[in-house]
A and B are shown apart, each in its own frame.
Chain A
Amino acid sequence: MVTSTSTVADIVVIGAGHAGIQLVDSLRAEGFSGAIALFEAQLGVPYQRPPLSKEFMAADPASTENSAEHGVMLRGPGFLVDMEVDFRPGRAVSSVDRVARELVLTDESRFGYRRLVFATGATNRALTVPGADLGGVIGLKTLTDAEELRRRLRQADQVVVIGAGFIGLEFAAVARASGCAVTVIEFNDRPMKRALSATTGNYFAAAHRSRGIELLLGEAVESLVGDASVVTGVRTASGKSIPADLVVVGVGVTPADGLARAAGLEIDNGISVDEMLATSDPAIFAVGDCASYPMAATGDRVRLESVQNATEHARTLARVLCGRGSAYEAVPWFWSVQGGIRLQIAGLAAPGDVEVMLGNPDEAQFSVLLFRSDRLVAVESVNRAADHVAARRILAPDAACGRLTVAEVTGPAFNLKQFSRSVMATA
């Protein structure tokens, strides 16, 4: 650990998640030699989040190979020292003084910046029903959450997951595979509704049910009930009563934009940034889950929660901060693994997009192509990596995606991989 008594740095980053760590890595790779300070409210080493609801959760915590940080470290132990980053874990920021260009820390000490980057991520949305504060009711966001959940899962018999989003379903699949009775309660009429087409969402609903998960759709949670402050069950709005010894809450996240909001920065579904990732204060930037930005392809303002978004933002911002920046234009992509089913998404769909199916859901291998105004905007692939790889190419900003129309893909012989190769060949 670098012991530093500095009270100012050229670039100060708040948040040591995927975005913050990639930013300091890319700044040094781009040749930035100024002072960098990295503030992080959590203690411990920076870690990867995607495995927390998947392999990390499934691994036996009693094995020494599965100790807390094994398999999820984001970089090697000497990384931040090698990068000459003044890393301050466990140091929460209480406010930003934009006039003085200083952070005010929770101990009221101050730390100056020339340029400031918010990489603060997102925080779990809380469940606001009676009983939500009972013991055995847990969210999954941090490594600490994941460790506690993994330990409790080994002793649990009846698991209820509230919210059929990505994290909730990934966890539900692990819990089911470990032998628990699992019920998932979702307010919407299909799982992962915000992110997925009806076809793909309904496919996952059927797949989870066939693995023995009880999936209650269109159902609201009325209260959690307990005995001596420990949860024993969940009551739904329609009157169902489901016994539970472990309840996992996965009802989405909200951007961690409180500091930016209090500092008077423009907020619009997160910290609002332009295509160069600058906020309404030109000395302050934001990357990753906490930032909303205009998509190059459509101009729509979006805020994405993904590793790819975090790291690509960070790489783009590193170049901007080194004076070699260009507008952010990466194609978003996402993935999930649920009960061995591999879901990969390229692009961003929206309600009303036209769906075209490639492949066969009955064989558990298909892609849903989504078109808007007869233009391909997103591809959801289930166990069809070839389509996903092709989709990333076709949707790339310099590719000829405008040429791919609904009529073109509807023929029986259409093959996305071959199409992407032909686009490449003529590019």
Chain B
Amino acid sequence: MAKIIYLNASGTPQTVDQDAPVTVMRAAIENGIDGIVGECGGQAMCATCHVYVDDRYLDRLVPIGDDEAEMLDCTAADRDDVRSRLGCQILVGGAGLDEIVVTLPSTQV
């Protein structure tokens, strides 16, 4: 099971629940969650699926990769050194992470 709660910039939650593992980016697109673009299709190339991860989940994520770390310098909204991640690199419903809460930035482009 994968459960993803997206909080928009004003804190309103939208929840996606599904059986199969899915990335934070892909689940947002397929469920019409506003605030995620995912222009490159999930390859950490465009930095338009930027999210701020809720503190409670940070230590359960796979470590940030070199490419992701650099591409996070391309985000339209300010990067948070601790909480910023690319949604395409966070797989939910797999090993060690069955739910997550993320806050969406004010803009992706």
Seen from chain A, the residues whose Cβ lies within 8 Å of a Cβ on chain B are 48, 50-51, 54-55, 65, 71-79, 82, 307-308, 311, 315, 335, 337, 342, 344, 385-386, 388-389, 392
Interface size on B, residues (CB 8 A): 22
The answer to whether B29 touches A76 (Cβ under 8 A) is yes
In the assembly, what is the distance between CA of A290 and CA of B44, in Å?
Answer: 26
C-alpha gap A79/B73 in the complex (Å): 29
- Give CA–CA (A388, B71) in the complex, Å: 9
List, sorted by A's number, 24 A–B pairs whose CB atoms are closer than 8 Å: A50-B43, A51-B42, A54-B43, A55-B42, A55-B43, A71-B26, A71-B42, A73-B30, A74-B29, A76-B29, A76-B33, A77-B30, A307-B40, A307-B46, A308-B46, A311-B39, A315-B109, A335-B45, A385-B66, A385-B71, A386-B70, A389-B71, A389-B73, A389-B74
Residues of chain A within 8 A of B13, CB atoms compared: none
A335 near B30: Cβ-Cβ < 8 Å? no
Instruction: Kindly list 6 other residue pairs between chains A and B, CB separation below 8 angstroms, not including A308-B46, A389-B73.
Output: A51-B41, A65-B20, A76-B31, A82-B32, A307-B39, A344-B45
Q: Are B74 and A50 in contact (CB under 8 A)?
A: no
B41:A72 contact, CB within 8 angstroms: yes
CB distance A75 to B43 under 8 Å?
A: no
* B59 at the A interface (CB under 8 A): no
Q: Which residues of A contact B70 (CB under 8 A)?
A: 385-386, 388-389
Complex Cα spacing A54 to B67, Å: 18
The 7 closest A-B pairs by CB, nearest first: A76-B32, A385-B70, A386-B70, A335-B45, A51-B41, A385-B67, A48-B41
Q: State how many angstroms separate the Cβ of B53 from the closest Cβ of chain A.
A: 20
CB distance from A396 to the nearest CB of B (A): 11
Verify A50–B40 contact, CB threshold 8 A: yes
A54 to B42 alpha-carbon distance, docked (Å): 11
Task: Flag if B67 contacts A50 (CB, 8 Å).
Answer: no
Evaluate contact between B32 and A75: CB separation under 8 angstroms: yes
Q: Separation in Å of the A347 CB from the closest CB of chain B?
A: 15
Q: What residues on A are CB-neighbors of B29 within 8 Å?
A: 73-76
A29: nearest chain-B partner, CB-CB: B34
Give the residues from 68 to 88 in chain B that come closer than 8 angstroms, CB to CB, to chain A: 70-71, 73-74
Chain A residue with the shortest CB-CB distance to B70: A385
Q: Once the chains are docked, how many angstroms separate the CA of A389 from the CA of B46?
A: 10
- List, in ascending order, chain B residues with CB within 8 A of A55's CB: 41-43
Q: List the interface of chain B (C-beta within 8 A of A).
A: 20, 26, 29-33, 39-46, 66-67, 70-71, 73-74, 109
Shortest A58–chain B CB gap in Å is 12
C-alpha spacing A335/B31, complex, angstroms:
27
Closest Cβ of chain B to A66, distance in Å, is: 11
List the A side residues contacting B73 at CB < 8 Å: 386, 389
Contacting pair A76 B30 (CB below 8 A): yes
A342–B32 contact, CB under 8 A?
no
Kindly provide the distance from the CB of A422 to the nearest chain B CB, expressed in whole angstroms: 15
**Pair B67/A342 contact, Cβ less than 8 Å:** yes
CB distance from A26 to the nearest CB of B (A): 9
CB distance from A144 to the nearest CB of B (A): 18
Q: In the assembled complex, which residues on chain A have CB atoms less than 8 Å from the CB atom of B31?
A: 76
Residues of chain A within 8 A of B67, CB atoms compared: 342, 385
For the complex, give the distance between the alpha carbons of A48 and B39 in Å.
Answer: 8
Name the residue on B nearest A52 (C-beta): B41
Complex Cα distance, B70 from A315, in Å, reads 25
Bound complex: CA A51 to CA B30 (Å): 15
**Residues of B close to A315: CB separation below 8 A:** 109
CA distance A50 to B32 in the complex (A): 20
Q: Which residues of B contact A78 (CB under 8 A)?
A: 32
Q: Which residues of A contact B26 (CB under 8 A)?
A: 71
Closest to A344 in B: B45
- Minimum Cβ distance to chain A for residue B86 (Å): 11
Q: Which residues of B contact A392 (CB under 8 A)?
A: 74
Which single residue of chain A is at the shortest CB-CB distance from B40? Answer: A50
In the assembly, what is the distance between CA of A229 and CA of B20, in Å? 42
Which residue of A54, A72, A79, A311 is within 8 Å of B32 (Cβ)? A79
Residues from chain A with a CB closer than 8 A to the CB of B43 are 50, 54-55, 335, 337
B41 CB to nearest chain A CB (Å): 4
Q: For the complex, give the distance between the alpha carbons of A153 and B32 in Å.
A: 33
Q: How far is the CA of A342 from the CA of B71 in the complex (A)?
A: 13
B74 x A335 contact (CB < 8 A): no
Note all chain B residues with C-beta closer than 8 A to A307. Answer: 39-40, 46
